[in-house]
Amino acid sequence: MKSNKRNLLPGLAFFLISLAGSAPAFSQASPGLREQINKIQTLIDQKGGKWVAGETSMSGLSPEEVQSRIGLTFTEMKEAPLPETPSERLPSSVDWRNAGGNFVTPIRNQAKCGDCWAFALTGALESYVMREQNAPGADLDLSEQVMLSCSGIGSCNGGTLNGNFLQRTGLPPESDYPYTAADGTCSSAAPGWENEAYKIDGWAPVSHSLSAIKSALAKYGPLPTGMLVYEDLMHYKSGVYSYTTGKKLGGHAVIIVGYNDAGQYLTVKNSWGTGWGENGFFRIAYSEVNSSVSFGLNTIAYKSASLKDAGTASGTGNAETWTRVAPMFDPLLQWNK
């Protein structure tokens, strides 16, 4: 028996070393950061929250570095909002990452530049192009730098959400002006980039309500949107986020890519890299649309004259619903001509 135990020791040692190697980076956090995150998690539990706080790629940043990654300025939308379909006529869930294929491009990292607005507008354009070309999973990477340096609607100090530049000029591939995380100048883009640019046919605001957001998402694909960010979001690891604690940091632009009625959440693509959240994505509770987070402010939708099939987002086993609903979307094709 003693001999057998000795034989087990090397395997046990390897197992323990493997566990240590795969342990989360949280174990390397400073005592102060660990204490801060533990307090947040305690408050989440006390308030009945459904998300997990932990160390992320945003957790160890200085207040100045965090602030440099938040840069959305909210504006009053003068255009008429998009008409919506009654919520009872919509599918119970939508996820554009799994809607007969993946129509959402990989997570990007805006780095130390407050151009979240440019990443939200660009990422939604990538999804738009894939939907228009019926090319799920396409290797498409458009230039956020052109959006930042040429659009005139913002800088690394912040910007707004509107689709005028995308409708008028559009964005070329990333290679025409690789991202620098700095304002840059439009003259630095490759000559003739406009000839390679992808455009949208039109755009319109989406009313700040859950029903309007779900309606637009199901019909028009991933949506650029805004929210107010609080300190606790820096430590979001997983689950369905709801504001718990911390001061307000400012406006931030992201992309809504799905919703789920059973779980009462929206699925969102962020631009803080894959070391934050659920590999760069996060889920947020429906309740946060009307909370201090004001999720969904300044949401816009992109128009495509060629996309007439209201069922492209079904991917949820709800094809019959869409078959009944499709005729109801015909009037929506008239908006923002």
In order, the DSSP letters of 104-149 are: SPPP-B--SSS-HHHHHHHHHHHHHHHHHTT-TT----B-HHHHHH
Could you tell me the two tokens for 47? Answer: 């308030």
Say which DSSP state 185 is in: -
Instruction: Give Cα 154 to chain centroid, integer Å.
Output: 19
- Top CATH class, 53-334: alpha beta
Give the number of other Cβ atoms within 10 Å of residue 201's Cβ: 17
Could you tell me the two tokens for 314? Answer: 């079904």
In angstroms, what CA-CA distances link 85 with 80, 82, 89, 95, 326? 16, 10, 7, 18, 10
Backbone angles phi and psi of 198, in degrees to 5: -95, 135
Closest to 257 measured CA to CA, from 236, 235, 279: 279
Task: Give yes or no: 208 in active site.
Answer: no
* pLDDT for the residue 331: 36
Closest to 140 measured CA to CA, from 153, 151, 129, 155: 129
Task: Give yes or no: 318 in active site.
Answer: no
Task: Give yes or no: 270 in active site.
Answer: yes
Q: Which amino acid is at 119?
A: F
Instruction: Give Cα 183 to chain centroid, integer Å.
Output: 22
Catalytic residue chosen out of the listed positions 113, 150, 208, 252: 252
Length of the chain: 337
* pLDDT for the residue 311: 42
Largest CA distance in the chain: 82
* pLDDT for the residue 313: 56
Backbone angles phi and psi of 239, in degrees to 5: 95, -165
Catalytic residue chosen out of the listed positions 113, 156, 162, 270: 270
Give me the residue spans of the domains in the chain: 53-334
In angstroms, what CA-CA distances link 275 with 80, 137, 215? 38, 22, 31
Could you tell me the two tokens for 236? Answer: 């979001």
Q: Which amino acid is at 171?
A: L
CA-to-CA distance for 253 and 231, rounded, in angstroms?
A: 16
Q: How far apart are the first and last CA of the chain?
A: 82
Catalytic residue chosen out of the listed positions 116, 150, 208, 298: 116
Query: What string of pLDDT tens digits covers the 337 residues of the chain?
Result: 333 333 433 343 333 333 333 333 444 678 889 999 999 999 999 999 999 999 999 999 999 999 999 999 999 988 889 998 888 889 999 999 999 999 999 999 999 999 999 999 999 999 999 999 999 999 999 999 999 999 999 999 999 999 999 999 999 999 999 999 999 999 999 999 999 999 999 999 999 999 999 999 999 999 999 999 999 999 999 999 999 999 999 999 999 999 999 999 999 999 999 999 999 999 999 999 999 999 999 999 999 888 753 344 544 433 333 333 333 333 333 333 3
